[in-house]
Amino acid sequence: MTNNIKWWQKAVVYQVYPRSFQDANGDGIGDLKGIEQRLDYIQKLGADVIWLNPIYASPDKDNGYDISDYEDINQKFGTMADFDDLLEKAHDKGLKILMDLVVNHTSDQHQWFIESRSSKDNDKRDFYIWRDPVDGHEPNNWGSFFSGPAWKFDEATGQYYLHLFVEGQPDLNWANPEVRQAVFDMMNFWVDKGIDGFRMDVISLISKPDGLPDGEVPNNGEYGNSDKAVANGPHVHDYLQEMRQKVLNRADMMTVGEASGVDITNAVRYANTDGSELNMVFQFEHMGLDNNPNPALSKWYDKKVSLVDLKENLSKWQNELAGKAWNSLYWDNHDQPRAVSRYGDDRPEYRVVSAKMVATLLHFLQGTPYVYQGEEIGMTNAYNLKREDFDDVEIKQAFKYLVEKTKLVDENTMLNYVHAKGRDNARTPMQWDDSENAGFTTGTPWLKLNSNYDSINVQEALADKNSIFYYYQKLIRLRHDMPIITTGIYELLDAQDAEVYAYRRVGEKDQLLVINNFTDQKLTREYHVPSDAKLIISNYSDDQGETLRPYEAKVYLFKK
Ligand code: TEU
Ligand code: CA
């Protein structure tokens, strides 16, 4: 495999959430010009690819994941000329641009939907999924991912339309070949501009099961869990193969499918190494390990992840994709809480050391790592946000349905859940310095900042040679320099050890031994480390051998 490594197998991706990265014009919202100003920063970190969350025209019912025109830029972010400029400047610096592709649904303000809802015999009627009521109710029991039913009754024509996310996000009907062709044409518009790939939003949901059968209804819940009922439908692989032929094969691009509800069997098909579909998928199993056991409360929970479970899960993905498909590696993104708060320890005395430890664990695995903006400086969950500060539609819907309507939880419990798992934890503005609004904007930020920006910010990180930032820079450099990190065989050590996550990566001549203390305790562990082993990275300044200090992480390189 060493000889035919693809560029995206060695690459590290930096995810930019444009709304919260850098505001260049003082309106409180991050924008394309702002990203352009910060390209040097991303380059300094050493990332190869920038994934931009959606920047297309959108009424922003779900922060850009409801697109009203795929070939236009959201005015809040700038113009198409700004985009062309950004793409050119990024390419000049050797940075690639990965665009978010949101084609499971459009906005209800998209021209296709406006026409589709206008009458039952409109040309575009069949672009979306319309059904008659059944006994005066929704056509089936599917629930929206964001609480409530997945169907909206439309008075004008007396039918329901399907929306797996919010009402303003009607699902496209991929069974209609005209829909597929329209999507492929739009994708080719972007390919022709010279972008470097796509991150495909909920791509595992585009093919709906035949007959749209009811899903399993969770305990106490009103509606079925759409993820289980809808993911990996009967034609999804055909559609992606068609996309590959009509769009993706036109350039040497990188593709990553966001695949909620994906298991190993399906991932091996989506991300197969013969290149007929996608390069890799985002799987969600390790994101669900701390979920509430009550399916009606699905993602809302605040217990710590069990290390034994985490090891079992990540090891399964490492082992079972090896040689057949390709992993993407991530701890967080714009939908998840902050990595250091969830997997590390964000108390001041442990924040830096534990952020480096979780980074070490991830960056020595096989796959393509993703760094979400702010992760590289150890930004934490935003515990200072109150109910009235939240912007995220998922959080708002949760308060509305789970607290007010079904009364499954009280307001305080919900607030705790949101502080642990809510999406706004990741969406507070980037913390550049300790000036007012952290150097993000001179105006009023669209979402409140995390109050800890006075001590956690880029300026401070760049001035400290032991910062998390420079540790990430080193991790990225090591990956670029050492093929074994891309190709070595993964071997978990001591699966039942609930405190230390240790593994090996075995190459042709060498091996890496990666040791991570997941606790705030001093531990003793004995591993076989030859005397000529080289310590290539560690989050402590000295090596105490068998003694592992709180959250200590270290990696040795030695002969096989
Ligand atoms: O997220 C899809 C997805 O699977 C979500 O249900 C995710 O699990 C949830 O947001 C976690 O809280 C994608 C986008 O990343 C997200 O921002 C969008 O809201 C969603 O699709 C709809 O487009
Ligand atoms: Ca702006």
For residue range 103-123, list pLDDT tens digits in order: 999 999 999 999 999 999 999
Centre of ligand 2 to C-alpha 76, Å, is 6
pLDDT at 224: 76
Cα–Cα distance for residue pair 201/70, rounded to 1 Å: 14
Measured from the Cα of 165, ligand 1's closest atom is 22
Question: Where does the pLDDT of residue 400 fall: very low under 50, low under 70, confident under 90, or very high at 90 and above?
Answer: very high
Question: Where does the pLDDT of residue 301 fall: very low under 50, low under 70, confident under 90, or very high at 90 and above?
Answer: confident
Lowest mean pLDDT segment, chosen from 38-42, 116-120, 247-251, 287-291: 287-291
Instruction: Indicate whether 222 pLDDT > 80.
Output: no
Nearest CA residue ID for atom 10, ligand 1: 335
Question: Where does the pLDDT of residue 3 fall: very low under 50, low under 70, confident under 90, or very high at 90 and above?
Answer: low
Nearest CA residue ID for atom 17, ligand 1: 335
Query: Encoding tokens for residue 69?
Result: 């025109």
Instruction: Indicate whether 1 pLDDT > 60.
Output: no
Mean pLDDT of 419-432: 98
**Closest listed residue to residue 318, CA positions, set 327, 309, 306:** 327
Cα–Cα distance for residue pair 521/501, rounded to 1 Å: 14
Instruction: State the first-to-last Cα distance of the chain, in angstroms, to the nearest integer.
Output: 18
Beta bridge partners of 157: none
Among the listed residues 48, 62, 196, 201, the single catalytic one is 201
Mean pLDDT of 431-449: 98
In contact, 400 and 358? CB cutoff 8 Å: no
Ligand 1, residues 335, 395, 418: which to mutate, most atoms within 8 A of Cβ? 335
Calculate the average pLDDT of the chain.
Answer: 96
Query: Residue 387's Cα: distance from chain center in Å?
Result: 24
Whether 202 lines ligand 1, by a CB cut-off of 6 Å, is yes
Whether 102 lines ligand 1, by a CB cut-off of 6 Å, is yes
Whether 38 lines ligand 1, by a CB cut-off of 6 Å, is no
Our CA angle for 252, 483, 368, nearest 5°, is 50
Told to judge if 196 belongs to the known catalytic residues of this protein, a careful annotator would answer: no
- DSSP 3-state assignment of 516? strand
In contact, 322 and 514? CB cutoff 8 Å: no
pLDDT at 220: 60
Cα–Cα distance for residue pair 431/457, rounded to 1 Å: 5
Question: Where does the pLDDT of residue 299 fall: very low under 50, low under 70, confident under 90, or very high at 90 and above?
Answer: confident
Query: 552 φ, ψ to 5°?
Result: -65, 140
In contact, 269 and 259? CB cutoff 8 Å: no
Cα–Cα distance for residue pair 23/362, rounded to 1 Å: 30
Instruction: Indicate whether 129 pLDDT > 70.
Output: yes
Exposure letters 172-201 (e unless 16+ CB within 10 A, then b): bbbbbeebbebbbebbeebbeeebbbbbbb
Question: Which pTM value belongs to this model?
Answer: 0.97
Mean pLDDT of 516-531: 97
Measured over all CA atoms, what is the biggest interatomic distance in the chain, rounded to whole angstroms? 77
Mean pLDDT of 408-431: 97
Mean pLDDT of 210-228: 79
Helix (H) or strand (E) holding 538, with range, is strand 534-538
Nearest CA residue ID for atom 7, ligand 1: 335
Ligand 1, residues 201, 291, 297, 402: which to mutate, most atoms within 8 A of Cβ? 201
pLDDT at 219: 60
Query: Encoding tokens for residue 399?
Result: 């308060």
Place of tokens 């939880």: 409
Instruction: Indicate whether 35 pLDDT > 90.
Output: yes
Distances (CA, A) of 61 to 197, 391, 392, 486: 25, 10, 9, 39
Query: Residue 466's Cα: distance from chain center in Å?
Result: 27
Cα–Cα distance for residue pair 300/399, rounded to 1 Å: 12
Cα–Cα distance for residue pair 142/413, rounded to 1 Å: 26
Our CA angle for 268, 271, 277, nearest 5°, is 120
**Closest listed residue to residue 304, CA positions, set 340, 351, 330, 342:** 342
- DSSP 3-state assignment of 333? coil
Our CA angle for 20, 349, 434, nearest 5°, is 35
In contact, 297 and 410? CB cutoff 8 Å: no
Among the listed residues 100, 258, 376, 392, the single catalytic one is 258
**DSSP label at residue 244:** H
* CB within 8 Å of 265: residues ≥ 6 apart: none
Beta bridge partners of 515: 502, 554
Nearest CA residue ID for atom 9, ligand 1: 335
Question: Where does the pLDDT of residue 148 fall: very low under 50, low under 70, confident under 90, or very high at 90 and above?
Answer: confident
- DSSP 3-state assignment of 27? coil
Centre of ligand 1 to C-alpha 391, Å, is 15
Full strand arrangement of the beta sheet holding 254-258: 280-282, 254-258, 197-200, 96-101, 49-52, 13-16, 368-372, 328-329
Instruction: Indicate whether 351 pLDDT > 80.
Output: yes
pLDDT at 302: 79
Told to judge if 138 belongs to the known catalytic residues of this protein, a careful annotator would answer: no
Query: In sequence order, what E strands does 411-507 have?
Result: 489-493, 500-506
Cα–Cα distance for residue pair 370/48, rounded to 1 Å: 10
Query: Encoding tokens for residue 93?
Result: 């610096």
